[in-house]
Amino acid sequence: MSKKSDHYALLSLRRDASSEEIRRAYYDAARRLHPDKTDSARDYELFLEIQEAYQVLADLKKRAKYDASLPPEPAEGDLIRQNILYSRQEVTRTREPQLIYVLLEYSAAVDESSPSAPPLNLCLVLDRSTSMRGKSMDVVKATAIQLLRRLRPEDTLSIVTFSDRAETIIPATENIELKKLEARIQMLQTSGGTEIFQGLESGYNEVLRGLKESCAAPTRQVNHIILLTDGRTYGDEERCLELARKAAEDGIGISGLGIGNEWNDDFLDKLASLTGGSSLYVSRPQDIQHILLEKFNNLSQVYAKESTLEFKLSEGVDLRYAFRLQPEAGLLPVESPLRLGPILKDSDLKILMELILQPPGDQTEIVSLLEGELKASVPTQPYSLPPIRINLVRPVSNSSGLQTPPEEILQALSHLTLYRLQEQACLEVAAGDYTKASQRLQRLAIHLIEQGERGLARTALLEAENIQRKYEFTEEGKKQIKYGTRALLLPGQKESPA
C-alpha cells in the first residue's frame, strides 16, 4: 500500500491514534494546504486526499472497515531501531538548574535480503557566475558528467545553472541520452553575478517535475537539491529560506556546497538545516569532485527519508542546543519540528541534545524532559512507517554523587566542545569583544594540538592574532576552523593540515 492510499500515513498518524489526534492532524494539514493558502495543483490534490482520509477515520464504522483492509502494521523497531543515552542516570534533588545531554540514535533494521536503494530524484543547481571561471567550473562540469554516468535507469537527474538568471540545462528526465547531455554540460560558460534564489527556485521546480514524471511512486523517491556556489547572494536570502521551508513540506532536501571563501556560511547552514540537509565547505576547486561524489553516494544509501522529530518540552525544561553528529554533522534549530535528515543503510543517525532542567519539586520521583515522535518514510517498504514514540524521563534522587556519562556521550562532547569554542569566538567578534574571542581561539588551538590537529591549531592561532590586530576573522580562516572542527565530529574523520 502506498503512502498516498494510506490514510494514517497521509496524516502522519499511528493506527491507534485517538479521535482528537485525528482531528488535530487533519486541521493542521488542511490549514496548510487549503486552496485559499496555495495555488499549487499538487497541494490541491493532496488537500482532497486529506479530506477523504479524515472522512473515513473520523467515522467509527468507516474506520473499523478501513482498518480491516490494511496489512499488518510494522512494530516499532522492525524498520528503524531507536537507542537513547543520557549523560545522567538520575536527576539530583537540588536547588540549582541541571544540565542533561541526551544522545538519540536511529539505525536501519536491514539485512542482506533488504531491497536495493530507492530511486533518486536529484537536481544539481550550479553557480556559473564569473567568479567560477577556470578550475572551479572545469571540475564542476567533469563531476556532473560522472554523476550522469552513475545514474541507474530508475533515477532522475536535472541540472540548473544560475548567475543573475537561471537556465535549465537538463530537465528532470529518465532514460537519458548520455552523449547529448554530456555535450550540454561541456558547453557551460561563466558570466554574470550571483542570485541564488533564481537557481534554487528553478531547481525546486525541476524536482517537482521529477516527482510527476517518474515511473516510481513519489513516496518511493529520494528527492534532493544540491546547491553549489562560490559567492554571496544579496537581497533574496529570505526568499531562499521561505522556499526551503516549502521544500521541506514537500519532502525535498537541500544541501549546499560552498567553494572558496566568499560565500555566506551562516546563510547556507540555515538554508540546508530547514530541510534536514547539510552544508559543506570546499576549500579548493580540486576537492569539488570528491565532496560532490561523496554526497551523491550518501543519497544513494538512504534507507529512511524525511526523518522529523516533533516534540513538546516538559514544564521547566529548555532545549538549549541540538546537533546532528552523523551521518553529516550540522547544527539544528531548537524548535519543533526538527528536520533530522535521512537515515542511511550503513550509518546511524545521531542527534545530541543539551537540555536545562529547573530544580524538581521536593516530592517529585520521576522527571519528564520531552515527549515526541520520530516520523520518517522508508521508501523501499510497501507500507507506511508508524511514528516512533520518544519519552525522555529521568528518576530523581537525593544523592549528589559523581555520575559518569556513557563513553559515547563523552566522546561526542569532547569534539563538540571544539566546535562550540569557535562558535563563541564568532559571537564575541560580532559583539566587539575581541580580546575574549582571541583568548578563546588560543584555548581552542591548545585542545586541537592535544588531539593531533596541528594544521587546524595553527589556523586558530593565526586567526587569534588577526582578531587582535584587525578586529575580525579572515573569511578563509573562519571557514577552515568552523568546518574543520565540525568534521572532527564524524567517525574516522581527520582534518588535513591547513
In the DSSP assignment, the letter for residue 28 is: H
Residue 302: helix, strand or coil by DSSP? strand
Residue 36 pLDDT level (bands cut at 50, 70, 90)? low
- What residue spans in the chain does CATH classification 3.40.50.410 cover? 120-300
State yes or no: pLDDT of 74 exceeds 80.
Answer: no
Task: Say what percent of the chain tops pLDDT 70.
Answer: 90
Q: What is the mean pLDDT of residues 292-306?
A: 91
Dihedral in degrees, nearest 10, Cα atoms 335, 337, 343, 347: 10
Contact 187, 134 (CB under 8 A): no
Question: Residue 75 burial by CB count (10 A; 0-12/13-18/19+): exposed, middle or buried?
Answer: exposed
Decide which of 379 and 426 is more confident. Answer: 426
- Predicted confidence band of residue 221 (pLDDT cuts 50, 70, 90): confident
pLDDT tens digit sequence for 116-138: 778 899 999 999 999 999 999 99
Q: Would you report the helix, strand and coil content of the chain in percent, each value rounded to 5?
A: 40, 25, 35
Per-residue pLDDT, 198 = 94
Q: What confidence tier does 497 reach under pLDDT thresholds 50, 70, 90?
A: very low
User: What average pLDDT is seen over the chain?
Assistant: 87
- On whether the CB atoms of residues 369 and 392 are closer than 8 A, the answer is yes
The set of residues, in sequence order, having a beta carbon less than 8 Å from that of 66 and lying 6+ positions away, is: 7, 56, 57
DSSP code at position 347: B
pLDDT exceeds cutoff 70 at 383:
no
pLDDT of 95 over the 80 cut: yes
Query: What does DSSP assign to residue 435?
Result: H
What tens digit of pLDDT does each residue of 421-475 get?
A: 999 999 999 999 999 999 999 999 999 999 899 999 999 999 999 999 999 999 9
% of the chain exceeding 90 in pLDDT: 57
* Amino acid 498: pLDDT: 41
pTM: 0.84
Instruction: Say if residues 108 and 80 touch (Cβ distance below 8 Å).
Output: yes
- Which range (17-21, 368-372, 414-418) has the least confidence? 17-21
DSSP string, 391-413: EEEEEEES-----PPPHHHHHHH
* More confident call, 95 vs 438: 438
Task: Supply the pLDDT for residue 13.
Answer: 79
Residues of the chain with CATH 1.10.287.110: 3-68
**Which residue in 109, 224, 92, 108 sits closest to 157, CA to CA?**
224
Q: CB-side exposure of 36: number of CA atoms within 13 Å?
A: 2
Does position 176 have pLDDT exceeding 70, yes or no? no
Average of pLDDT values for 209-219? 65
The second-level CATH assignment, the architecture, of 3-68 is: Orthogonal Bundle (1.10)
Ranges 214-223, 385-394, 429-438, 481-490: which has the least confidence? 214-223
Q: What confidence score (pLDDT) does residue 97 get?
A: 93
pLDDT score recorded for residue 398: 83
Question: Which residues of the chain are in CATH 2.60.40.3670 domains?
Answer: 80-113+303-397
Architecture of domain 80-113+303-397: Sandwich (2.60)
CB atoms within 10 A of CB 464: 22
Least confident range from 69-78, 304-313, 411-420: namely 69-78
Indicate the fold that domain 120-300 takes in CATH: Rossmann fold (3.40.50)
Q: Which of the four pLDDT bands, split at 50, 70 and 90, describes residue 2?
A: very low
